[in-house]
Structure 1
Amino acid sequence: MTDPLSQYRPNVGVVLFHPDGRVWYGRRANTPGPHNWQFPQGGVDEGEDYEAAARRELAEETGVTSAELLARTEEWIAYAFPADYGGSKQARGFAGQKQKWFAFRFTGDESEIDLETHGDIEFDAWRWGRLDEAPDLIVPFKRKAYEQVVQAFAPLVV
């Protein structure tokens, strides 16, 4: 039997929790609103450990390295690219992305957050917000995946 997610790009996502229970949102650079806020996420390099990939993506996209692991999803959470998406990942033959999600607690100072720490800027603004806001902030084709992420990490909200 063929793996239904075999055409999905392996990916990790990160929900960064503030000590007060809010979560970190980044506004995607060069992406018009209203659905342009999301959590850090990115691809997994060949042979890379998923947690290491999540920490790398978090550091590259936000500058944050002061974070302790709270939880992770064991099963893949996937979303398909829309037919008219036309992004580079779709052009490389991927039907969508399958993700392992990680929840970290931010243990640093907000001065650590630097959206320009890496050459490719993913986000042009950031804010703290409620976890349950996520499905309404993300592009519609990722909404069901974000609903699963919210459900998985809701017990972590203080």
Structure 2
Amino acid sequence: MTELPTAYRPCAGFMLINAHRRVFVGQRIDSKDNGAWQMPQGGIDPGEDHEQAALRELYEETGIGPSLVTVLRRMREPVRYDLPSELMGKLWGGKYRGQEQFWFLGRYEGRDEDIDITAHHPPEFAAWQWANPVDLPELIVPFKRHVYRAVLEEFRELLYL
């Protein structure tokens, strides 16, 4: 029997809200499922702190630089998820069983025209939209839904849910 990895990949995510309290989500370009939407997120590079990583990922995936964002809050605790069995050992060189995600909430100070999901190559998103926060858990892949519910709960008062 193959031994499963026990480590979690460190990851940072950014919940970006606009003036209408809608949340930025991008449709994953590498997913066969047309419903695979997510907020910007990705691995933490060596030497980066969590906030730096979250802002870098936001920039790489949306073209939105730190000057167009006001960071409002950080989650008190990270949230973990495990990969489903069919993906276990196939992502990230098989080193991780899932991710430990550190989430940040920020207000977008720019315009829709400032968003460029092709700013980084290769792009991660095929499309983007501003979504109602309460709809987020249904937009994400099922194995990450508990993460999005935890993020929503943590930032609830600032989202006016």
Task: Give TM-score, length-normalised by structure 1.
Answer: 0.91
Q: Which SS does the other structure have where 1:95 is aligned?
A: strand
Q: Which SS does the other structure have where 2:96 is aligned?
A: coil
| CA distance, structure 1, for counterparts of residue 26 and residue 71 of structure 2 | 20
**Structure 1, gaps ≥5 residues long:** 1-5
Which amino acid letter does the alignment assign opposite residue 132 of structure 2?
R
What is the CA RMSD across the aligned residues, in angstroms? 1.6
Which amino acid letter does the alignment assign opposite residue 94 of structure 1?
Y
> Does the aligned pair in 2 maintain the 1:34–1:137 contact within 8 Å?
no
Which amino acid letter does the alignment assign opposite residue 116 of structure 1?
T
> Does the aligned pair in 2 maintain the 1:135–1:143 contact within 8 Å?
yes
Equivalent residue, structure 1, for 2:44: 44
| CA distance, structure 2, for counterparts of residue 114 and residue 34 of structure 1 | 20
Deviation for aligned residue 1:74: 2.2
> Does the aligned pair in 1 maintain the 2:27–2:34 contact within 8 Å?
no
Among 64, 74, 91, the residue aligned to 1:88: 91
Correspondence 1:66-105 to 2 at 5 A: 66-86=68-88, 87-89=90-92, 91-105=93-107
Equivalent residue, structure 1, for 2:127: 125
What is the aligned residue count? 153
Task: Give TM-score, length-normalised by structure 2.
Answer: 0.89
Deviation for aligned residue 1:34: 4.8
Q: Which moved more, 1:25-34 or 1:53-62?
A: 25-34
Which amino acid letter does the alignment assign opposite residue 156 of structure 2?
A
Which amino acid letter does the alignment assign opposite residue 29 of structure 1?
I
Equivalent residue, structure 2, for 1:22: 22
